[in-house]
């Protein structure tokens, strides 16, 4: 008999391995990082930009025994000291990232600075021979995104961008369900992200306003389209297996009318091949509807953020059945844990949504994406597809801003195809 | 893992609602047209059967029996006659542990068990083979074929698969009745395991199945359909609780009946009954207070 943890870990690894056929980046997770590692064999990492996201990444990296954070860099002193404390004083500190990059025995860097700095830092790091994990979105301009991709190709160093939904078990499962035709042809994707706050951080001194509230100003930020929508556009691209041909949108500042120059509400329509649209909106003055990513198919509906899916006319398959089919398709012979007492629907006619995935809690996606980054350095191999996914999502969010600014549909530029 | 036969076609899968639960049909490596045809046959067959056996469909023959069989003998068609005589047969060879007349008990709460008890017992059912009719000898009686319907349905499914020379299939009827036909495409059998009743991530026992059916009965667990619903018809009280029994047999009907009967029978009674079901594999699972479970197989 299997022990529960053993079973769920095994099934999880198997699940990822099976999914890796169509989602090759997951192969990097199924190798699960070694638990006991020689200190000399650890992957040596530096982190640049340790604000709120950077600190979270740091904590996640510390859970990976195979990785060691040897250096941290932030040009804002309080954040730098905080970072040093988080590493219990073991990491070297730098306020100029060039100095960090000059460390000879550094294998890779993690970049979590505001997006206007991503391109320069990433390219410098790659050229310094470091593998790079950079937070999303890639950059504020398409040509910067392209330059980042080219630098990766030129240097042969790995480049991964932090779109962690690619490592989210629920999303992976949902994309598989769509591929298996469970909800039939997908005819529309709807997504939104609603919050109700000013999107500001309190600054200790007025001089720091532009720096710390970088999200609110266009020369440092892509606004809601880049900070929020980019993630959800990435999921739509992934689901629909492509990128939008054209983007329309309207945005305005209708509530948080302070010194900011990014929209506080946006509405977008992204047109994909085959006439499928992603209909999107985001705002920061009402959070009643929270966030959503809904996949509408002719035979069913997936509500990703709720972790539920609904069939049009009929019950969901028994648990274990989809796994069985997946196993059969991938040549896997494994137990079919299906036997039990009779299933009874809660509502015989009106089927309530079914869970996309039963595993609770699911592994933290950010943890997995960082484990994959460490693995990719260990194996000296670029993770397949993740950079491409990041590129198309990043460029789409930039084009969305262009569309809103010009109030004209923006066609996908031919040069932005990898 | 044995080498995989070439998978020429994608695995067909559909789920449909039937008999108050769902039925999953998995047909590996079949031409999609053929798979769709087989699925259709299975679905139609089961829905027709349900329209006869269901006590929830007010115009079903069973509903008619439950309403009037005490007043007058009710004639039935050949298929229903077959079901009823099968029920009588199993009532006999399980020493009365398998009994489809428990409906009055099922519908009442604990306080009423003693009052309802005289209204159940298959020996109060008269089956007249001369005109294929049924009569209740006592008032207030009623049939619930829930304990045999899925097994009967899977017998039909088996026939459909045989008729069309289908090499392999997995049909799960509400997860409690599963037909593993032929073998898994990548092994020489279907490895079907029983889920842990209190921890959905675990499974507790695996059967290697080939051309066999698996039936699982459970009683006295909290939650969806598994609270107390199996009664000892002889005592008129609920069967043992926190217990589950799985039976694998070449006959879906036998698996269905024996898994229910074994929940009802006392240890000392089981042996004698099992003798009438040669070739069955049995796993009995007794759960403790929490997740601990003892599995006995024979
Ligand atoms: N993947 C996600 O879910 C997710 C979530 C939040 C943020 N992010 C992304 O992470 C990035 C950072 O966001 P944040 O919320 O942590 O912002 P933040 O302002 O909290 O942190 C940015 C940090 O970078 C530092 N920094 C700025 N310029 C620097 C320089 N030249 N050298 C060194 N350090 C410098 C700042 O001092 C600050 O500590 C953004 O790109 C954002 O989009 C991603």
**Residue A230 Cβ contacting ligand 1 at under 6 Å:** no
Is there a contact between A333 and B194 if contact means CB atoms under 8 Å apart? Answer: no
Pocket test for ligand 1, best of A114, A160, A213, A222 (most atoms within 8 A of CB): A114
In this predicted structure, which of A107-111, B37-41, B222-226, B261-265 has the lowest mean pLDDT?
Answer: B222-226
- Of residues B43 and A87, more confidently modeled: A87
DSSP A347-402: SSSSPPPEES---SSPPPHHHHHHHHHHHHHHHT-PPTTHHHHHHHHHHHHHHHHH
In this predicted structure, which of A242-251, A286-295, A311-320 has the lowest mean pLDDT?
Answer: A311-320
Q: How many CA atoms lie within 13 A of A49 on its CB side?
A: 20
Distance CA A60, CA B228 (A): 47
Distance CA B214, CA B52 (A): 24
The whole-number average pLDDT for the span B63-72 is 94
pLDDT of residue A5: 44
The whole-number average pLDDT for the span A173-192 is 90
pLDDT of residue B1: 41
Asked if A288 contacts A237 with a C-beta cutoff of 8 angstroms, the reply is no
Q: CA nearest A348 in B: which residue?
A: B20
Task: State the DSSP H helix or E strand holding residue A192, giving kind and residue range, or none if neither.
Answer: strand A186-194
3-state secondary structure of B176: coil
Average pLDDT, chain A: 90
Q: How confident is the model at residue A19 (pLDDT cuts 50, 70, 90)?
A: confident
Q: How confident is the model at residue A343 (pLDDT cuts 50, 70, 90)?
A: confident
Distance CA A131, CA A52 (A): 22
Is there a contact between A325 and B11 if contact means CB atoms under 8 Å apart? Answer: yes
Asked if A114 contacts A125 with a C-beta cutoff of 8 angstroms, the reply is no
Q: How confident is the model at residue B220 (pLDDT cuts 50, 70, 90)?
A: confident
User: pLDDT by residue (tens digit) across B118-159?
Assistant: 788 899 999 999 999 999 999 989 999 988 999 999 999 999
The whole-number average pLDDT for the span A197-201 is 96
Whether pLDDT at A346 is above 80: no
Instruction: Answer whether the bond into residue A36 is a cis peptide, omega within 30°.
Output: no
Whether pLDDT at A36 is above 70: no
In this predicted structure, which of B14-18, B170-174, B269-273 has the lowest mean pLDDT?
Answer: B14-18
Q: CA nearest B206 in A: which residue?
A: A335
Rounded to a whole number of angstroms, the distance from the CA of B19 to the nearest CA of chain A is 10
Average pLDDT, chain B: 89
In this predicted structure, which of A14-23, A112-121, A125-134, A385-394 has the lowest mean pLDDT?
Answer: A14-23
- Kindly report the CA angle at A56 between A54 and A60, in degrees rounded to 5? 115
Complex ipTM: 0.89
pLDDT of residue B113: 73
**Residue A52 Cβ contacting ligand 1 at under 6 Å:** yes
User: pLDDT by residue (tens digit) across A316-326?
Assistant: 889 889 899 99
Task: State the DSSP H helix or E strand holding residue B8, giving kind and residue range, or none if neither.
Answer: none
Distance CA B101, CA B119 (A): 8
Distance CA B237, CA B109 (A): 10
| Residue ID of nearest Cα to ligand 1 atom 39 | A51
Q: How confident is the model at residue A33 (pLDDT cuts 50, 70, 90)?
A: very low
User: pLDDT by residue (tens digit) across A59-113?
Assistant: 999 999 999 999 999 999 999 999 999 999 999 999 999 999 999 999 999 999 9
Q: Which chain B residues in 183-242 lie under 8 Å from chain A, judged by CB atoms?
A: 184-187, 190-195, 197, 199-207, 214, 216-218, 221, 224-226
The whole-number average pLDDT for the span A204-229 is 97
- Of residues B219 and A313, more confidently modeled: B219
Q: Which chain B residues in 27-86 lie under 8 Å from chain A, judged by CB atoms?
A: 28
**How many angstroms is it from A49 CA to the middle of ligand 1?**
6
| Residue ID of nearest Cα to ligand 1 atom 21 | A51
User: pLDDT by residue (tens digit) across B103-123?
Assistant: 888 777 666 777 777 788 899
């Amino acid at each position: 008999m299997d022990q529960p943890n053993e079973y769920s870990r095994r099934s999880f690894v198997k699940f990822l391995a099976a999914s890796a056929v169509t989602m090759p980046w997951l192969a990097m997770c199924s190798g699960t990082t070694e638990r006991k590692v020689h200190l000399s064999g650890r992957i040596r990492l530096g982190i640049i930009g340790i604000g709120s996201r950077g600190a979270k990444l740091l904590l996640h990296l510390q859970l990976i025994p195979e990785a060691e954070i040897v250096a941290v860099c932030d040009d804002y002193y309080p954040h730098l000291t905080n970072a040093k404390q988080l590493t219990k004083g073991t990491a070297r500190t730098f306020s100029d990232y060039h100095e960090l990059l000059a460390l000879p025995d550094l294998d890779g860097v993690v970049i979590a600075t505001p997006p206007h700095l991503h391109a320069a830092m990433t390219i410098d790091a790659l050229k310094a021979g470091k593998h790079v994990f950079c937070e999303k979105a890639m950059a504020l301009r398409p040509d910067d995104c392209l330059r980042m991709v080219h630098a990766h190709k030129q240097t042969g160093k790995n480049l991964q961008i932090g779109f962690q939904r690619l490592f989210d078990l629920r999303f992976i499962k949902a994309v598989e369900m769509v591929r298996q035709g469970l909800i039939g042809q997908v005819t529309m994707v709807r997504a939104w992200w609603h919050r109700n706050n000013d999107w500001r951080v309190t600054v200790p001194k007025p001089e720091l306003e532009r720096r710390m509230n970088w999200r609110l100003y266009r020369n440092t930020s892509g606004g809601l389209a880049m900070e929020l929508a980019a993630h959800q556009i990435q999921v739509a691209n992934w689901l629909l297996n492509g990128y939008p041909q054209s983007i329309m949108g309207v945005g305005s500042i209708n509530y948080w009318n302070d010194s900011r120059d990014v929209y506080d509400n946006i509405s977008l329509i992204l047109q994909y091949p085959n006439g499928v649209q992603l209909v999107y909106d985001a705002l920061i003055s009402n959070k009643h509807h929270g966030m959503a990513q809904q996949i509408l198919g002719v035979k069913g509906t997936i509500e990703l953020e709720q972790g539920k899916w609904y069939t049009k006319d009929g019950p969901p398959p028994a648990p274990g059945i989809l796994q069985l089919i997946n196993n059969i398709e991938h040549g896997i012979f494994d137990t079919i844990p299906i036997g039990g007492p009779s299933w009874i629907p809660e509502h015989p006619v009106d089927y309530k949504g079914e869970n996309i995935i039963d595993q609770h809690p699911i592994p933290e996606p950010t943890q997995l994406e960082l484990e994959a980054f460490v693995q990719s350095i260990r194996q000296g191999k670029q993770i397949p597809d993740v950079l491409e996914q990041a590129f198309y999502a990043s460029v789409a969010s930039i084009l969305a801003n262009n569309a809103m600014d010009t109030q004209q549909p923006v066609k996908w530029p031919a040069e932005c195809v990898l | 893992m044995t080498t995989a036969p070439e998978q020429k076609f994608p695995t067909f899968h559909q789920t449909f609602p039937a008999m108050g639960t769902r039925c999953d049909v998995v047909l590996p490596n079949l031409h999609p047209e053929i798979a769709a045809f087989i699925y259709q046959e299975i679905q139609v067959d089961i829905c027709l059967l349900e329209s006869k056996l269901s006590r929830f469909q007010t115009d079903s023959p069973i509903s008619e029996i439950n309403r009037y069989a005490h007043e007058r003998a009710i004639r039935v068609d050949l298929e229903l006659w077959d079901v009823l005589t099968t029920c009588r047969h199993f009532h006999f060879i399980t020493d009365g542990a398998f009994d489809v007349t428990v409906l009055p008990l099922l519908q009442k709460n604990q306080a009423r068990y003693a009052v309802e008890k005289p209204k159940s017992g298959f020996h109060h059912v008269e089956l007249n083979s001369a005109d294929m009719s049924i009569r209740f000898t006592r008032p207030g009686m009623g049939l619930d074929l829930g304990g045999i319907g899925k097994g009967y349905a899977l017998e039909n499914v088996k026939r459909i698969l045989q008729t069309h020379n289908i090499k392999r299939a997995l049909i799960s009827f509400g997860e409690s009745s599963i037909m593993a036909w032929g073998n898994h495409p990548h092994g020489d059998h279907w490895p079907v395991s029983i889920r842990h009743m209190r921890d959905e991530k675990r499974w507790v026992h695996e059967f290697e199945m080939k051309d066999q059916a698996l039936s699982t009965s459970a009683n006295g667990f909290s939650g969806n359909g598994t609270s107390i619903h199996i009664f000892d018809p002889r005592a008129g009280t609920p069967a043992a609780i926190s217990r589950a029994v799985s039976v694998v047999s070449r006959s879906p009907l036998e698996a269905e009946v024996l898994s229910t009967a074994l929940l009802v029978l006392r240890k000392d009674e089981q042996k004698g009954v099992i003798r009438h079901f040669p070739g069955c594999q049995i796993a009995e699972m007794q759960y403790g207070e929490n997740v601990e479970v003892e599995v006995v197989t024979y």
